[in-house]
Amino acid sequence: MINGYDVVIGKILSAHGTGGMVKVYPYSDFPERVHMLKEVELEQESRRRVYLVEDSSVHGKNWLIKFQDVNSRDEAEALRGSLVRIPKEERLSLPEDNYYHDQLEGLHVYDSAGNLLGRVIEIIPGGGHDQIMVARAGEKNRKSMIPAVKDFIKRIDIPEGFMVVELPEGMLDL
């Protein structure tokens, strides 16, 4: 990724007011993290540019951010649709046994007997819990969903690149 800004934490929805502020839909589970932003990279239509954060606040479910050198409603409106990126190193630490989606993507998935089931290709956010999309080993174009719950996920080893699951019989065939 360009300049190491490889984590998307939000998307600019619109200008807010007349002074150059933007309204951002946060992808972060930590609304207060907006106060920690010093500089971000905005990506719009494959163009990227770093902006210094002048001011920020939480506004309902959204963030309000004022960038240095963005001083009018028109300048702010030109940023609509931009993805807000930060370096991976600036992510907040998660509690034990919690992971960022990109940490899980690519992990090999084994059952408790050591059989390779496949590889994590996507995490799909859900209301009660996320779903782990697994590309099945040896089965071209076959995918399975595993609920991301402790009853099924028995071990995750990020450094070694695998997870161990214990699933009810037939679950992968659904």
Per-residue pLDDT of the chain (174 residues; tens, 9 = 90+): 445 898 999 999 999 999 999 999 998 888 899 999 999 999 999 899 999 999 999 999 999 999 999 999 999 999 999 999 999 889 888 888 888 888 999 999 999 999 999 999 999 987 788 999 999 998 888 999 999 999 999 999 999 999 999 999 888 877
Q: What CA–CA distance (Å, rounded) separates 54 from 21?
A: 10
Tracing tokens 């450094």 back to the chain, one arrives at 159
Residues 6+ apart with CB under 8 A from 122: 105, 132, 133
List phi, psi (to 5°) of 137.
Answer: -70, 130
Domains observed in the chain = 2-90 (2.40.30.60), 101-173 (2.30.30.240)
Q: What's the Cα-to-Cα distance from 32 to each of 38, 39, 57, rounded to whole Å?
A: 13, 16, 8
